[in-house]
Amino acid sequence: MLIEVLIVGVMVGAIYSLVTIGYSMVYGILKLMNFAHGDVYIFGALLCYTLLAQFHLNAILAVVLAAVAGGLLASLVEFIAYRRLRAAQHRMISMITALGAAYVIQNSSELKWGNQVQSFPSLFPADHIVIMGSQVSVTHIFTLIIAVVVIVAFNLFLKYHKAGKAILCVSEDIPTSSLMGIPINKTISVVYFLGGVFGVLGGVLYSASYNAISISMGFRGTIIAFTAAVIGGIGSMGGALIGGMILGLSENLISVYVSSSYKDPITFLILIGILLIRPTGILGRTEAGKV
Amino acid sequence: MEKDAGSLIQNNSSKSAVVRRILITGICAAAILGLPLVVQNTYYIGIANFMIIYTILCMGLNLILGYTGLLSLGHAAFYGIGGYVTAILMTRHGFSFLPALLISGILAMIFGMILGIPTRKVRGDYFCLLTIAFGEIFRLVAQAWIPFTGGAMGIVAIPIPKIFNWVIRSEVDFYYLGLILVGFTWLSLTLLIGSRFGRAFVAIREDDLAASVMGINTPMYKILAFSIGSFYAGLAGSYLAVYQTTITPSSFRLEESCLMIIMVIVGGMGGMLAPISGVIIMTLATEAFRSLAEYRMLIIGVIMVVVLLFRPQGLFGTAAFKD
């Protein structure tokens, strides 16, 4: 029993890490709470659902299309609602436009797909394998592998690819990067695009492993990404991984051993606790305030 | 600050401005008081009653957002605390309305104080996140704790409120009850802003750091602003409970908090009466599109983006956002 719970927890944790990476990256660069993140991811996942269930597309093609659409939507939101405000007087302004953008996407998706829970088709065979005496679904294994591969690939991209290095530079210091000839606007668009892509991937994997999708998962996704990013240390890749894992595991342990209706309140309590005790997160750096 | 002080002095010095001000205030007051005599349709009075609720909420929120610059996205929770306290006291413990109203306000204030304490340590975005978390915990617990809060079905059959011999039953009765509450809110907040405390709030609004250098205990004032703002939210919630006669968790979602924030911003932060224009505009905007109820959040979202892109100081505001 415990091993199964732990394996599911690790899988959910890996998905959360995937969703968190994009979110944390955006925060690391712009110091902007992207409230629209979860709504972008649920938009992509719902699009994938339609492509699979109505158009019977090949699974890989559907996921890729949905992820690209999500990425484009995320960059569009950045372009419309955030870019003009980057130099704005106060960060709160872009936070509120972010919320506004989130509601626009959420409401538009609701008009298209309704607010009911729909059954998401499985992407993997419904087999089980036995690990250390407990049955583990193949879906969970595949999901875990995909999430880990994507996270590792993204880290390699950041370290070795030119565009990846540009992202790291911009997150260090925007004015200096711009002086060094890094195209800031383009890099930020890429960051949002990738954030959207990873978000949609995470959303699709999550919906596929639970066979369910609904619009309300969007806001929850934003909060999960927030919480995981804050727990691990916002802006840090390793932190996103740790935060996602902690949330995935704790959530599953709580819903099995306590009650699933207290799963979300306890997630929020963890968030409050972390904010009070160590607001910079486990791997985060403290920043000195400027006057 | 300078602008405010300047306009105050001007008003004091020139008599015609004072007369004009009194005249405008008088006409507005007469129009507001006489509204139910002119408008017979209870549907419109109902809309006015919701405007009253949001006015109380936004005046309190304005103290938090406009004066101390804390972005609270958990205001709906205090509103909800007020609603549930009144509902539980009146249905299960036989309280009459006035004590329930008072206790609702005070309990909301206590929770506001508790949530305000972390402002010492948790800043900016993180504080905003903290308020979201608080608001969501409140709503989720209200949904899950069925024996105490009635779960998603909420608490029904809240008794008709009675103040001395005045039985408040019709829409018009509630309209006047609401006006009394708005009057109380406005008066008490005006007195507060005019006092020593108020000047400290204005100083914090103008420059947090400079205020603390001048010896103002900024953390204490922020907690104070938070608890006072929450007190009014508790009153509004209590009013909502008796007005609707039912209370459900869905009235206190994050969207409500966002709506209040955007009302304050559209009206303009920092002024005493400016949020009212935001309340009126946003309520009318959402009412006008009532037939398109499913577009409600879409419209609110678009307004949020457009207003902040083009006029972040609001329509009638003096204070823009500052770091």
Burial of B116 (0-12, 13-18, 19+ CB in 10 A): buried
Q: Cα(first)–Cα(last) distance of chain B, in Å?
A: 16
Q: What is the pLDDT of residue B148?
A: 83
- Averaged pLDDT, A137-158: 85
Dig out the tokens for A213 from the structure. Answer: 């999708």
Of the listed ranges A18-27, A107-116, A217-226, B34-43, the one predicted with least confidence: B34-43
Q: Choose among A99, A100, A275: nearest Cβ to B129.
A: A275
DSSP state at residue A78 = I
For residue B286, pLDDT beyond 80: no
Of the listed ranges A36-50, A90-104, B46-60, the one predicted with least confidence: A90-104
Question: Which CATH number covers residue A51?
Answer: 1.10.3470
CB A190 within 8 A of CB A31: no
Per-chain mean pLDDT for chain B: 81
Burial of A153 (0-12, 13-18, 19+ CB in 10 A): exposed
- Averaged pLDDT, A24-29: 80
Q: Choose among B261, B302, B309: nearest Cβ to A85.
A: B309
- Averaged pLDDT, A37-66: 87
User: Best mutation site among A35, A84, A103, A108 for testing chain B: the one with the most B CBs within 10 Å?
Assistant: A103
Please state the separation of Cα B102 from the chain's center in Å.
16
Residue of B nearest to A224 (CA): B133
CA distance B127 to B222: 12
Q: What is the pLDDT of residue A288?
A: 52
Which is higher by pLDDT, B228 or A129?
B228
Number of folded domains in chain A?
Answer: 1
Chain A nearest C-alpha distance from B79 (Å): 19
For residue B318, pLDDT beyond 60: no
Q: What is the pLDDT of residue A286?
A: 58
Cβ-Cβ pairs closer than 8 A, A with B, add up to 133
For residue A48, pLDDT beyond 60: yes
For residue A287, pLDDT beyond 70: no
A110 touches chain B (CB under 8 A): yes
Element (H, E) at A97: helix A91-113
Chain B nearest C-alpha distance from A169 (Å): 23
Confidence of residue B319 (pLDDT cuts 50, 70, 90): low
Residue of A nearest to B133 (CA): A268
Q: What is the pLDDT of residue A283?
A: 66
Q: How many CB atoms lie within 10 A of CB A57?
A: 17
Domain, as residue range, for A164: 2-103+119-277
For residue B5, pLDDT beyond 50: no
Q: What is the pLDDT of residue B1?
A: 41
Q: What is the pLDDT of residue B323?
A: 40
Confidence of residue A136 (pLDDT cuts 50, 70, 90): confident
Asked if residue A282 is part of any domain, the answer here is no
B290 touches chain A (CB under 8 A): no
For residue B7, pLDDT beyond 60: no
Which is higher by pLDDT, A18 or B323?
A18
Q: Rounded to whole angstroms, what are the CA distances from A276 to A133, A269, B121, B230?
A: 41, 10, 7, 21
B18 touches chain A (CB under 8 A): no
Contact B71 A80 (CB under 8 A): no
Query: Any idea of the CA torsion for A194, A199, A204, A207, to the nearest 10 degrees?
Result: 180
Q: Which residues of A touch B132 (CB under 8 A)?
A: 223
Q: What is the pLDDT of residue B6?
A: 46
Which is higher by pLDDT, A193 or B121?
A193
Q: What is the pLDDT of residue B2?
A: 42
* CA A259-A264-A266 angle, 5° bins: 75
Q: What is the SS3 assignment for B79?
A: helix
Which is higher by pLDDT, B290 or A272?
A272
Q: Choose among B122, B141, B322: nearest Cβ to A90.
A: B322
Model confidence over B65-122: pLDDT tens digits? Answer: 878 878 888 899 999 999 999 988 888 888 888 888 899 999 999 999 988 888 777 7
- Averaged pLDDT, A117-132: 76
Strands (E), chain B: 162-163, 166-167
Model confidence over B124-133: pLDDT tens digits? Answer: 777 888 888 8
For residue B321, pLDDT beyond 70: no
Model confidence over A64-86: pLDDT tens digits? Answer: 999 999 999 988 888 888 887 77
Q: What is the SS3 assignment for B159?
A: coil
B302 touches chain A (CB under 8 A): yes
Chain B nearest C-alpha distance from A55 (Å): 27
Chain B nearest C-alpha distance from A123 (Å): 32
Contact A265 B140 (CB under 8 A): yes
A265 touches chain B (CB under 8 A): yes
Chain A nearest C-alpha distance from B253 (Å): 12
B321 touches chain A (CB under 8 A): yes
Chain A nearest C-alpha distance from B19 (Å): 38
Domain segments of chain B as ranges: 41-253
Asked if residue A288 is part of any domain, the answer here is no
Q: What is the pLDDT of residue B107?
A: 92
Q: Which residues of B touch A274 (CB under 8 A)?
A: none
Q: Choose among A84, A223, A275: nearest Cβ to B130.
A: A275
Confidence of residue B233 (pLDDT cuts 50, 70, 90): very high
